[in-house]
Amino acid sequence: MNRRLPIAIILVALCLVHAILLILPPTLYETYFTIIRPVAYIIILIFAQLALPRTLKAYPGRATLTMVAILGIVIYLAANFIFGLFMQFGHNSMNLSLLGTLKNCWAFFILIIFREIIRNNIMTHVREKQKYFVLAIVTIVFSFTSLDGLQGIINFDLFQQIDWFFVIFLPAITINLWFTYAAMHGGIRSNLIFALSYNALIYFSPILPDIPQILEAIITYCVVFIMFIIYDSVEWVAKRRNAIKLEYKNRRRWGWSTIPAVFLVVCLLFGVGAFPVMPVAVASNSMAQEFRRGDLIYIEKAPPSDLKINDIVQYTTGNISVVHRIVDIRHDSTRGRYFIFKGDENPLPDIFPVYDEQIVGIVVLKTPLLGLPALLFQGLKE
């Protein structure tokens, strides 16, 4: 059988499965995600396995791809959580109950595995002359199939569609370009590592960094660019030295995976507040005698009973976080002790009293100007 025909059938079938969602009424969305699409993917996967049998071609760069995938996911997740520290975290909107988690695994998580196996079957059976043409087609098709909110785009106006193209579709194209390129070099293991690690955060983490979509898109562009550069550079050097051997890669594997993994764990713990000290970017000059806008200060958790006048403390009021100096400690007959705060550069004390439950911690250290990137992305203005 001509190998181009089954590849074309697979790509058309994938597009049709996702195009169905555009015409389905909302009442059938759950049926689509939990029954129709998974079953369709199983059928497509079986067809791909039968029509495109496993190749025996050797891919010496697979170990490098695995290393790059581990590094890429560490950079991606670390960047998201670091920006989450400076901005904020939000509760995951996914259903994280046991039943909800099982549904997510079936409707989305397992689908990712099927998708990457299908992609790998296609790209490892492409002739050398056609590989870049097929790479482009597969990237576009798989980008289309990775987006679940296509039905909402129909009602967007022109500017919303342009915004969707740059912050949603282009990042999908970018990451799928890497997945397809890696699959062309036998990198199904590396693709599964990256895709499953990223989506595990989305579908199973109770909190997620609440950052602008444009910032997340920029992170995606940068991470994929870094992954391409590292992979091509490592393989070029390895070929130049005639050292494309598994042992060559293994001697470097632990350095590339263990150290970044430790860094990721530290970022995760920092993000969920496991450490007693956390960083905060200064957003105003109300305390200019101590620190200025753009400085990074470090807040240590402290019991309100230990606070005293002249301490510089972070407290919350509504959705706002404030770092000012305690100028007085008073008591009332109903709620007991409360604090009066004032910014050193402000003419008057803060309007509202601050009670114990509003106290976050005390300032213990500062780093000049290190908080400017966070303010830039937050779009804060004095």
Map out the domains of the chain with their CATH numbers. 4-271 (no CATH), 277-372 (2.10.109.10)
Q: What is the pLDDT of residue 263?
A: 55
What is the distance, to the nearest Å, from the Cα of residue 224 to the centroid of all Cα atoms in its chain? 13
Is the pLDDT confidence value at 171 over 90? no
Single-letter code of the amino acid located at 260: P
pLDDT digits (tens, 9 = 90+) for 64-120: 888 888 998 988 888 888 877 777 777 777 766 777 777 777 777 788 888 888 888
If you average pLDDT over residues 237-255, what whole number do you get? 50
Q: Which has more confidence, 260 or 367?
A: 367
Q: What is the pLDDT of residue 246?
A: 46
Given pLDDT bands bounded at 50, 70 and 90, which one contains residue 247? Answer: very low
Q: What is the pLDDT of residue 261?
A: 54
Please say whether the beta carbons of 78 and 69 come within 8 A.
no
Tokens linked to 38:
């998974």
Is the pLDDT confidence value at 249 over 50? no
If you average pLDDT over residues 170-177, what whole number do you get? 90
Is the pLDDT confidence value at 140 over 50? yes
Sign of CA dihedral 266, 269, 274, 275: positive
Give the integer Cα–Cα distance in Å for 192 and 59.
17
Does the global pTM surpass 0.75? no
Give the integer Cα–Cα distance in Å for 15 and 17.
6
If you average pLDDT over residues 285-311, what whole number do you get? 87
- Give me the phi and psi of 57, to 5 degrees please: -65, 140
Sign of CA dihedral 358, 360, 365, 369: negative
Is the pLDDT confidence value at 199 over 90? no
Please say whether the beta carbons of 219 and 79 come within 8 A.
yes
Is the pLDDT confidence value at 286 over 80? yes
Q: What is the pLDDT of residue 309?
A: 92
Mode of pairing for the β-strands spanning 207-209 and 320-332:
unpaired
Tokens linked to 281:
């970017």
Is the pLDDT confidence value at 380 over 50? no
Given pLDDT bands bounded at 50, 70 and 90, which one contains residue 382? Answer: very low
Q: SS3 for 367? A: strand
Q: What is the pLDDT of residue 323?
A: 92
Percent of the chain past pLDDT 70, that is, above it, reads 80
| Residue that is written with structure tokens 């400690």 in the block | 329
Residue 368, CB-side half-sphere exposure with 13 Å CA sphere: 3
8-state DSSP, 336: E
Exposure class string for 203-233: b at 16+ Cβ within 10 A, else e: bebebbbebeeebbbebbeebbeebbebbee
Percent of the chain past pLDDT 90, that is, above it, reads 11
Single-letter code of the amino acid located at 198: Y
| Mean per-residue pLDDT over the chain, rounded | 79
Q: Which has more confidence, 202 or 8?
A: 8
If you average pLDDT over residues 226-251, what whole number do you get? 64
If you average pLDDT over residues 115-129, what whole number do you get? 84
